[in-house]
Chains A and B, each alone.
Chain A
Amino acid sequence: MNNNVLIGYKQRDNFVDRLTGTTKLIGLIALSVIGMTSFDTRFLLVLTVCSLALFRVSGIKFHEVSFILGFITVFSVLNLIAVYIFGPKYGVHLYGSEHVIWQGIGPYNLTWEQLFYEFNLFLKYIFTVPLALIFLMTTNPSEFSSSLNRIGISYRISYAVSLALRYIPDVQNDYRQISRAQQARGNEISKKGKLTHRVKVAGQILLPLIFTSLDRIETISQAMELRRFGKLKKRTWYAARPMKRNDFLALIVIALVVLVGIYLFKVNGGRFYNPFK
């Protein structure tokens, strides 16, 4: 429970930190969507390098995220291996040619096409990582919800998001306390206990956790109703910041990147860049 990046917001005085939450939110969504659809290796490489550079500028220290990075690497590699096991010829099928590097058993040979396809997948897995971490670690949670409201999402939903961010640490605390109380009673949930026993104990922890939270929903909503939340069409935000020159510049750069991505679909005649032709 220790590696909590989500609430890792810390004020860092630099270019990335000073951008408004709105800009960062639009940037994250736009770039991750275009990177998700594009299979142009050159484009993905540039995106990866840029997002790494941005990560460097953002001033986040490596040790703050090293655990997450290790975990992501392991999972990406597992995923790539799974892709190879289930579709050893998928690259050949996509690019329509076959250059064998090493002849293996049955369908399991190694082709340049497969390697290239999996390299693309790898880039897709990793290029969002710096962006997402920057977003989480440099955006003030209350400012984040005001940004949601500014990009056109109803303020009730934006407020719900801000409530979620506010209560994640509380729920974690509750969880920890209840699970310690159960351990004190001899109910072991860690790997030391037997599996069936652990499942039963998990239930004994979850029930109180969920039911205290349901009570909490009633309390909070009554408090909010007393303060007349949701009576008017609009709401102002204490944490909102005005857009500055740098925000507009950043948005223009993001728009350009997305346009280049779309333009490349046209150049390549589809989503794939094919060097084997």
Chain B
Amino acid sequence: MHKKQGISVRTVVAIGIGTAIFFVLMRYIPIPTGVPDTNINLAYGFLALMGSIFGPVAGGLIAFLGHMFNDLTWGEPWWTWIVADGIYGILFGLTKKYLNIENGGLTKHKLVIFNVYQIIISVLVWGIIAPTGDVLVYSEPASKVYLQGITSVICNALSVGILGTILLVAYARTRSKKGSLKKES
């Protein structure tokens, strides 16, 4: 047998299909907020699910590629936010071990911790990293990009908090707990 190299086949496929869904959700079903270029994105609820099932590599790449394709179809690759999105995906991927959702390890307590964590990383990524990148790279007025940032924090945290939580619970129901089968004597 060959030694396993790099990421698994399942992760490769998850990145591919995940990116496709992320792209479709971001491109066709955004709910505008009134602040230019800032939408409520259902894609982030989905990203939370993919990150927690497939881990940081998948989460990061799904968000990075999905956002990049979305921006390319509008003709303006906005690199600072694309990179920020990648970081957001990686941070969601880090919950994989803790949530242990694939082996049915999801509990109410873990869901609450997950939601606290997602609010913290939303603030970190959309409130700090993305707008600061805009100020440094695009040299836009700080007050404008921080307003966009704060709006995104609220929208994305809501998307993850509502849709993400629903998806996690629904997915967890389809998985059975590890060791739940007993041998009949």
Report how far A209 CA is from B23 CA in the complex, Å: 13
For chain A, residues 158 to 180, give those with C-beta under 8 angstroms from any C-beta of chain B.
Answer: 159-168, 170-172, 175
The stretch of A15-23, A199-207, A241-249, A260-268 that contacts the partner chain: A199-207
Is A57 an interface residue when CB atoms closer than 8 A count as contact?
no
Which chain B residues lie closer than 8 Å to A211 at the CB level?
170-171, 174
Report how far A168 CA is from B68 CA in the complex, Å: 14
Is B147 an interface residue when CB atoms closer than 8 A count as contact?
yes
State whether B17 touches A82 (Cβ < 8 A).
no
Q: Write the B1-32 contact mask toward A (1 if CB under 8 angstroms, else 0).
A: 01001111110111111111101110011000
Is A154 an interface residue when CB atoms closer than 8 A count as contact?
yes
For chain A, residues 103 to 162, give those with C-beta under 8 angstroms from any C-beta of chain B.
Answer: 121, 124-125, 128-130, 132-133, 135-136, 154, 156-157, 159-162
Which of B19, B49, B141 lies in contact with A87, CB distance below 8 A? B141
Which chain B residues lie closer than 8 Å to A154 at the CB level?
6
Which of B16, B35, B143, B170 lies in contact with A160, CB distance below 8 A? B16
State whether A164 touches B20 (Cβ < 8 A).
yes
- Decide yes or no: A161 and B170 within 8 Å by CB, A5-B73, A121-B140 being known contacts: no
User: Please, which residue of chain B has its CB at the minimum distance from the CB of A128?
Assistant: B76
State whether A132 touches B12 (Cβ < 8 A).
no
Interface centre among B46, B61, B77, B147 (most CB of A within 10 A): B77
Which chain A residues lie closer than 8 Å to B69 at the CB level?
6, 164, 168
Report how far A225 CA is from B8 CA in the complex, Å: 10
Report how far A221 CA is from B18 CA in the complex, Å: 13
Q: Write the A54-74 contact mask toward B (1 if CB under 8 angstroms, else 0).
A: 000000000000001101100
- Decide yes or no: A163 and B36 within 8 Å by CB, A36-B137, A129-B76 being known contacts: no
The total of Cβ contacts below 8 Å across the A-B interface reads: 182
Which of A79, A128, A217 lies in contact with B17, CB distance below 8 A? A217
Which chain B residues lie closer than 8 Å to A78 at the CB level?
36-37
Which of A69, A125, A214 lies in contact with B171, CB distance below 8 A? A214
Which of B16, B37, B140, B163 lies in contact with A167, CB distance below 8 A? B16
State whether A79 touches B37 (Cβ < 8 A).
yes
Is A276 an interface residue when CB atoms closer than 8 A count as contact?
no
Is A231 an interface residue when CB atoms closer than 8 A count as contact?
yes
Interface centre among B21, B65, B66 (most CB of A within 10 A): B21
Report how far A206 CA is from B20 CA in the complex, Å: 14
State whether A6 touches B20 (Cβ < 8 A).
no
Report how far A213 CA is from B142 CA in the complex, Å: 40
B19 to chain A, nearest CB (A): 4
Residues of A within 8 A of B (CB-CB), count:
74
Q: Write the B27-49 contact mask toward A (1 if CB under 8 angstroms, else 0).
A: 01100000111000010001001
B2 to chain A, nearest CB (A): 5
State whether A207 touches B17 (Cβ < 8 A).
no
Is B79 an interface residue when CB atoms closer than 8 A count as contact?
yes
Report how far A232 CA is from B1 CA in the complex, Å: 11
Which chain B residues lie closer than 8 Å to A75 at the CB level?
36-37, 74
Is A183 an interface residue when CB atoms closer than 8 A count as contact?
no
State whether A83 touches B17 (Cβ < 8 A).
no
State whether B42 touches A160 (Cβ < 8 A).
no
Is B138 an interface residue when CB atoms closer than 8 A count as contact?
yes
User: Please, which residue of chain A has its CB at the minimum distance from the CB of B76?
Assistant: A128
Which chain A residues lie closer than 8 Å to B77 at the CB level?
28, 32, 128, 132
A-B contact pairs, 30 of them (CB 8 A): A4-B73, A6-B69, A39-B139, A68-B74, A72-B74, A75-B36, A87-B140, A87-B142, A129-B76, A132-B73, A132-B74, A132-B75, A132-B77, A156-B6, A163-B12, A163-B17, A164-B16, A168-B23, A175-B28, A206-B167, A210-B49, A211-B171, A213-B17, A217-B10, A217-B13, A217-B18, A220-B16, A221-B13, A229-B12, A230-B8
Known: A87-B140, A221-B9. 14 other contacts (CB 8 A): A32-B79, A68-B74, A82-B36, A82-B144, A83-B141, A94-B139, A161-B65, A168-B69, A171-B23, A206-B163, A207-B167, A218-B10, A220-B16, A220-B17
Which 9 pairs across A and B sit closest by C-beta, in order of nearness? A163-B16, A87-B141, A129-B75, A86-B144, A164-B19, A160-B15, A167-B20, A78-B36, A221-B13
